Amino acid sequence: MDDVDARLERAIDALLDERRAGATICPSEAARAVDPDGWRELMPPARAAAGRLAAAGQVEVTQRGEVVNVATARGPVRVRRV
């Protein structure tokens, strides 16, 4: 894991800390927090960061309200605290 990956994980945590319980974020919000200008290139690493946090039991990745595996999910996903 490199510095960008760690920054993305911290950004996901920080964004979720700012939200009410049960609220979700989009991985793009973490990507924008890390690099406002180059966030699009960070989308795959942001989804991967969400996947690592999900594997650690810290968050859930959802799609249409259902928990999914971010590695196999296609299309937009959301991230929430467990």
pLDDT at 43: 97
pLDDT of 1 strictly over 90: no
DSSP 35-61: -TTTGGGGHHHHHHHHHHHHHTTSEEE
Give the chain's mean pLDDT. 96
Span 34-53, pLDDT tens digits? 999 999 999 999 999 999 99
Fold of domain 3-81: Arc Repressor Mutant, subunit A (1.10.10)
pLDDT at 28: 98
pLDDT at 76: 96
Q: What does the domain layout of the chain look like in residue ranges?
A: 3-81
Q: What is the pTM of this model?
A: 0.94
pLDDT at 81: 96
